[in-house]
Each structure stands twice: as C-alpha cells, then as structure tokens.
Amino acid sequence: MKIAFISDIHGNATALEAVLEDIEKKNVDKIAVLGDLCFRGSEPKRALDLIRSLNTDVVKGNADEWVSRGIKEGEVPNEALEIMRKEREWTLKQLTTEDIDFLTNLPTQLTIKLSDDIEIHAFHATPNNLFNMVLPNQSDKELAEQLMQQTSADIFLYGHIHLPYVRFINGKCVANLGSVGLPFDGSKNASYLIVEGEDKHFQVSVHRVSYDVDYVIKQLKEKEYPNYEFLRNVLVKASLS
C-alpha cells in the first residue's frame, strides 16, 4: 500500500492544491490528514472544503482545537495571545457552523495497517497531547517516550512542528510531515510524506512541492488578515526566526 500523509495546511489552500496535484501523480492508495487545517491562513474555508472533499481520515490539531473552542492563556506566549485571538475571530467569520462542528468532532489519533505486517500510528503532536513540541534533535529516548507509545506500531508519524525529518529508533521509524502551508525549515516549498510498504518492507519519504507564495501573501493583504506582517515574514523566510 502507498499512503500520502499531509498536515499543517493552515488555511493555505493554494499550497494544498499544489500538494494534492503532486500526490495525484504518485498514484497513492490513500491520503491521511494530521491536523491544523484552516487557522492562520488566507483561505480557511477553501482549505477545509478541499480536505473534506477527500472523504478520508483526518485527525485534530491544536489549531483546529483553537478554532473550535478558543485559545486559552498559557497555550501561547502572553504577548501573542491578543493577536492570535483576533486571527481566530477572523477565521471563524469565514467558516460555517457545520465547519466548526467538523473540527470539534475530529479524532486525535489514527492507526492504519500499511500491510499485514506493518502498522502506522499517526497523530498531530503526541498521542496524548495536541500541543507538545517534539523536535528533530531530541534524543532517541525522548522521541521514544513521547511518540512511540503504541507498541504494536512500526511507524510513528506526526505534524505540528513544521520540520520534516525521518529517523529510525530501535528498528522502528519516526517521521514528521513538515507543513503544507507554513514550512519552518527554510524551504518555502510545501512538505508532505509518502509511506509505501509491502509485507515487512517499507519506505518513508519526504516530498517538497513549490507553489505561488507571492500570491498567498497578496491574498493575506487584500483580505486584511489581522496578523499580516508576521505571517508574510514566515511565508517569505519559511522560518519563525
């Protein structure tokens, strides 16, 4: 079986369309989505509609939780709380009640059989928490403790950190998808994973897709996005720094 995993679209429907077009060329059997669908981007409604049209497995991310119930103190730096709440309000105005219900009711993890012998455990940040940050440079022990809790699984996939990587720990694979809509690794190209396997054999690969970043920035300005300068800088630099 061949499965594409995407996450962290963040309302960037232009990047999502480019990724879906690229996936279509790869002849995958399935697409799975690991959260953060529409918050903090120029086209939250269109991005969410594209995801829903896939009629596939979708798990909840922290940004989906924020859209559905608000951003609590302590979940973001104090100095960012006011503007992020304004971003949420802007996003809510683009969505329907049905859209909000969809985000609210998403599951938080997913198990998929890649083959009779290979199981994938997928989630947004960690299996038990939508907000925890598990970074690529953490030790094998830290990654295993936080991400590899489902002992029956062979492959562990997550999003959230916007930094794609693939590592092998004790014969099992841990990988991050990166981000479709807001990469943080210095490459402006959208990022996603393809996992392919048969019997006991598998491979996990990161794929990068270019899209019109300038057009997305123009959209943000025209739509008077409330945190425009910050988001423009992230899109241009593909980094938070």
Q: Are 38 and 11 in contact (CB under 8 A)?
A: yes
CATH of domain 2-237: 3.60.21.10
pLDDT in tens, 32-87: 999 999 999 999 999 999 999 999 999 999 999 999 999 999 999 999 999 999 99
201 φ/ψ angles, rounded to the nearest 5 degrees: -100, 140
Domain ranges of the chain: 2-237
pLDDT in tens, 164-204: 999 999 999 999 999 999 999 999 999 999 999 999 999 99
Does the predicted TM-score (pTM) go above 0.95?
Answer: yes
pLDDT in tens, 93-147: 999 999 999 999 999 999 999 999 999 999 999 999 999 999 999 999 999 999 9
Helix (H) or strand (E) holding 233: helix 228-237
| Residue 154 Rama label (left phi>0; alpha psi -120 to 50; beta) | alpha
- 119 has which bridge partners? 113
pLDDT in tens, 212-225: 999 999 999 999 99
